[in-house]
Amino acid sequence: MYVDGQWVSAEGDRTFEVRNPADRTVAGIVPDGGIPETRRAIESAHRAFPAWSRTPAKDRGVILKGIMELMAERRDEIAKLVVLENGKPYEEAKGEVGFSMGYFGWFAEEARRIYGDVVSSPFANKRLWVLRQPLGVVGAITPWNFPANMITRKIAPAMAAGCTVVLKPASATPLTALAIARCGHDAGLPAGVLNIVTAAKSGAVGDELLRNPHVKKIGFTGSTQVGKGLMKQAADQIKRISFELGGNAPFIVFDDADFDKALEGAIAMKFLRVGGQSCICANRIFVQETIAERFITAFVERTKALKVGPGFEAGMQVGPLINEEALRSMQHFVEDATSRGARVLTGGRRYTSPPLDKGFFFEPTVLVDVNDNMPVCVEEIFGPIAPILIFKTEEEVLRRANATSYGLAAYFYTRDYARIARVSEGLEAGLVGINDAQGYTHEIPFGGFKESGLGREGGREGIEEYLEVKSLVVNLG
């Protein structure tokens, strides 16, 4: 763990193992923190806050850029840790680390653009000013699917704003978090500004972050179910919260789309982001009926050609799922769908032959003859299963795409510019990709509608999540 600028052990030297999901071997051993360690981390962040918040934004930015530069120098090393504990292919991990370090660069500059206001006063003898000031200590809880990106997207804007941070990384992927902390330490980050508590289970650490009055804000990425529980706890102290939660992203292919680009986009957004273990992955693929047969045939061929295997093997495109529970979930989705009339065109099973039988590998799967009410179309899949649905009209697909409690991301492909305007405005999602499957960038805000979350990360809005607004009324006498 990293607390108050030092590398520390847990009380009683408690530890837990981090395992490689590709073969279940031990990838590392880290301290198993709990309430005492979390309290020490919070106290450290609380002590560090006054000095850090008064540090000029330009100087905070210099340190953040230093972290970015060290991450760039250590990109290969950090990417290898991502592969070891998460399982994703090495090139994908390298891309994640490259993208994640960019948040330090972006928010280093945004720190200098925290503006106040001088408001025109209705009184001759009074002046009205508005300040934006850092909130204080921030508790951040991050998931395992993007062990670098999910962290930097929270801690970079928080520290840029002048806040201090206590981070609880996912128990499955703490090694990447500690490597990022090492970059911060070596870049000259003052003691207490960033603290990391690793733990085998999140409950005790999360509870303390929510109960402790020194913590002014909670940033969380994870499931909607867990997010709802955290909201209830945060309500006791009216803590500020920003949550990025689950998704059920529709991926819509209209018959006038660039067929090849739409096909590659669908493959990328379904299978090539942590093997489908992403909240913005395509969860439901809608294809217009006039091109459905052709698209499904091509999609199945591309799915069969995907290279599945351990992340360190050259050319791999899809790695393992994170654990046994995820494997069971995929099997349940397939069995439930087929029991209701769906057909499996390819995949549908875990790998049982060497060497993939040692890890948590599931075959990239395509389902057809599914309907909107099946669990595989209602729930977040979080794995390499692609249900394909057919639609007739624009109005129909908009209605079906929006018929979900989630609203994080959506994608559609068309050449019709009038349709681009109508559909992009009609989709109920915080992120809409139009003829594009990349997703978000540092420069734009990211977050969800409906039960997919509160608040935004990235863009200028990202730093505002960590600022308090103060109004000043000055009587000149």
Which active-site residues does the annotation give?
244, 279
Q: Kindly give the residue spans of alpha helices, DSSP state H, lying in 313-378.
A: 324-339, 375-378
Burial environment of residue 352 by CB neighbours within 10 A (0 to 12, 13 to 18, 19 or more): exposed
Antiparallel, parallel or unpaired: β 137-141 and 164-168: parallel
Gyration radius from the chain CA atoms: 23
Distance of CA 418 to the CA centre of its chain: 32
Q: How far apart are CA 286 and CA 270, in angstroms?
A: 13
244 close to 462: Cβ distance less than 8 angstroms: no
Distance, CA of 390 to chain centre: 29
Going by C-alpha positions, the residue among 23, 10, 157 that lies closest to residue 87 is: 23
| Spatial distance between the Cα atoms of 45 and 335, rounded to a whole number of angstroms | 48
Residues for the chain: how many in total?
Answer: 477
Two structure tokens written together for 209: 């972050």
Q: Name the residue with tokens 């609380």.
A: 46
Distances (CA, A) of 357 to 86, 120, 335, 354: 17, 69, 20, 5
Instruction: Give alpha helix (H) positions in 10-132.
Output: 35-54, 57-73, 75-86, 90-110
Is the C-alpha dihedral spanning 178, 272, 310, 344 positive or negative?
positive
**Residue 355, preceding peptide bond in cis (omega within 30° of 0):** yes
Place of tokens 């549908």: 348
CA distance 113 to 236: 33
The secondary element (H helix, E strand) that includes residue 141 is strand 137-141
